[in-house]
Amino acid sequence: MPDLNALFTIVLPVHNAERGLRATVVGILDLAEVLARRLQIAIVDDGSTDGTFEAAAELAREFPQVRVIHQRAQRGLGEALEQVRLRLGVEHVIAHDGIATISLDELATLLIATDDDSAADAGDAATHRRSRESVDLTMAAGRRRGRAGASFRWLRIDQPLVPRRFSGRSLAASPEPKLPDAPPKSAFSRLRTVAPGASR
């Protein structure tokens, strides 16, 4: 698992996602700022027929943390991860499955759990306490819609990948941090809402 000072890579395979892409990316960047994470977002346009690629390219020009990969045909998650591996040279990523709705709530849970594990391993009680406080301050209002699923996962991609979808036999999954049994109660009170198409 990458340490807290590492550059986290978030992989977003998207298909015909032009309308909501900006809000999603801005939300992830805001989340990274609140949680004090260094990250890059790899948007993989998976054969979209709308303006997804153009919207992603505009975001990449605006935000240096954004990388864009274009697949002319819809080839699925496995090929998206392989292109990220080849072009960005990363070994570990947090990847969205490309199917479910992108949940900032769920992504925050993964990042915060990593914080907790690292703090505990280091034996730094103060850092661990601050990480728990950050849970209370930053969990998303999406809790109203029920507990987040498993659309985001830590994956190790240091070897070539072939499959189109998540598979326990075919994708090398990194050990996932232990998530809390019950979701934290608070919301992303510090994050502002950004409507699709709005600028920061």
Average pLDDT across the chain, whole number: 73
Question: Is 37 among the domain residues?
Answer: yes
Q: Any idea which residue has 């309308």 for tokens? A: 19
* pLDDT of 146 over the 80 cut: no
Answer with the residue of higher pLDDT: 10 or 195. 10
- Give the pLDDT of residue 161: 57
Number of folded domains that form the chain = 1
pTM of the model: 0.65
Question: Is 147 among the domain residues?
Answer: yes
- Between β-strands 92-96 and 7-14, what pairing exists: parallel, antiparallel or unpaired? parallel
| pLDDT (average), residues 52-59 | 98
- Give the pLDDT of residue 113: 80
Beta carbons within 8 Å of 114's beta carbon, 6+ residues apart: 1, 2, 4, 177
Question: Is 196 among the domain residues?
Answer: no
Q: Please tell me the distance from the alpha carbon of residue 173 to that of residue 170, in angstroms, as a whole number.
A: 9
Question: Is 170 among the domain residues?
Answer: no
Domain that holds residue 90: 7-156
| pLDDT (average), residues 139-166 | 59
**Per-residue pLDDT tens over the stretch 84-107:** 999 999 999 999 999 999 999 999
- Give the pLDDT of residue 164: 45
Give me the helices (H) in 51-189, please.
Answer: 52-62, 76-88, 104-122, 125-138
Q: Whole-angstrom distance between the N-terminal and C-terminal Cα of the chain?
A: 31
- Give the pLDDT of residue 50: 97
Question: Is 189 among the domain residues?
Answer: no
Question: Is 185 among the domain residues?
Answer: no
Question: Is 177 among the domain residues?
Answer: no
| pLDDT (average), residues 99-128 | 69
- Give the pLDDT of residue 158: 81
Question: Is 1 among the domain residues?
Answer: no
* pLDDT of 200 over the 80 cut: no
- Give the pLDDT of residue 64: 96
Per-residue pLDDT band at 9 (split at 50, 70, 90): very high
- Give the pLDDT of residue 18: 96
